[in-house]
Amino acid sequence: MPKITIQPLNRTIEAEEGQTIMEAAWADGLYWPTTCGGEGICTSCACTIEEGADNLDPLGRSERKTLSEERGEAALRDGSLRLACQARVRGDVAVKKPGVRPARPSALSLD
């Protein structure tokens, strides 16, 4: 299974092959900042890929459009900025995303 190391949280999680970074984080019980709920139309889930960019599916047309419109063409130049809700994992990666943290248990939870 691919591993995702998330900084500055300093946590490594496992991901299913083809899972997005954000899906893997949610499955591991983490809160990942998002405004659109993972639809790829905002950039609040955007993260910097620090290692393993080649282990992600290539930037798709809609992800490229969203990053360009919301962050400007400069955000696309080095290829290190990706939407966590769109970037599908194929191998180990290391990312930086402030604000990722363990999710709080729901007040409605019976656990």
pLDDT tens for each residue of 34-65: 999 999 999 999 999 999 999 999 999 999 99
Per-residue b or e along 44-70, where b marks 16 or more CB atoms closer than 10 Å to that residue's CB: ebbbebeebbebbeebeeebbebbeee
Domain ranges for the chain, please list them: 3-99
Residue 99's pLDDT is 95
Structure tokens that stand for 81 in this block: 């900025």
* Domain at 3-99: CATH code: 3.10.20.30
